[in-house]
Amino acid sequence: FRDQIYDIFQLLPAKIQVGVFSATMPPEALEITRKFMNKPVRILVKRDELTLEGIKQFYVNVDKEDWKLDTLCDLYETLAITQSVIFVNTRRKVDWLTDKMRSRDHTVSATHGDMDQNTRDIIMREFRSGSSRVLITTDLLARGIDVQQVSLVINYDLPTQPENYLHRIGRSGRFGRKGVAINFVTRDDERMLFDIQKFYNVLIEELPANVADLL
């Protein structure tokens, strides 16, 4: 949204008060502060206070990438879920996973950056209304999904940057509700899981057998 923000600032008066708020401050957000703010005051929260208290976080060991799909389907057959969001790392994988889930008779919706805005808006309206209960997407929309009924976030792929983890799991447990985040972890993902735990000073435990009681 950087270009849109630049366009908006061209229409604003020179002397205005500007506030920038974000759960994390990636380089692109800091670039905005440098360009449009005059001697900004920074108020930062410690990383170990960032992860959301109402969200239980777990991991599932998956020996092979190919086994993730079966693991995912087993979860959905076991749990009674209001609504959930599944995150993957590429647009192509969104399409692939959507096709695979539908072929196994799971009703899912999907959205990513290759879709035009009108199509994405229609899909999100359907998801918010409850017509669709599972949404598959990428990090592009991790900050733009605000649906009260989402109780579960599944990181089918761990994010490539620890900062994005917070935005993803924050899609569940909105407005003080309980939420659960489940991370699929292969051997190649173990380092990133460690980095996420270190970054937020949080312990992510293995998924317990009674996870259904947490939703």
Q: Over the stretch 118-143, which tens digit does the pLDDT of each residue have?
A: 898 899 888 888 888 899 999 876 66
The verdict on 7 and 71 lying in the same domain is no
pTM for the model:
0.78
The token pair at 98 is 């959507």
Q: Are 19 and 120 within one domain? A: no
For residues 106 and 158, what is the distance between their CA atoms, to the nearest angstrom?
22
181 to each of 36, 50, 66, 170, 215, how far by Cα in Å? 36, 15, 21, 9, 10
89 and 190 belong to one structural domain: yes
Mind listing the pLDDT tens digit for each residue in 74-92? 998 888 777 899 999 999 9
3-state DSSP call for residue 213? helix
Shared domain check, 60 and 33: no
Instruction: Give the model's confidence band at 150: pLDDT under 50 very low, under 70 low, under 90 confident, else very high.
Output: confident
Pair 93, 11 in one domain: no
170: amino acid identity, one letter: G
Domain identity same for 14 and 89 = no
Number of domains in the chain: 2
Does 114 lie in the same domain as 20? no
> What digits encode the pLDDT tens for the residues 50-71?
556 778 999 999 999 999 999 9
Whether residues 106 and 173 fall in one domain: yes
Whether 30 and 115 share a structural domain: no
**Together in a domain, 139 and 67:** yes
What CATH number is attached to the domain comprising 78?
A: 3.40.50.300
pLDDT band of 19, cuts 50, 70, 90: confident
Q: Please indicate, yes or no, whether residues 204 and 132 belong to a single structural domain of this protein.
A: yes
H or E, element range at 113? none
Structural domain boundaries, residue 150: 52-214
Residues 84 and 169 in one domain: yes
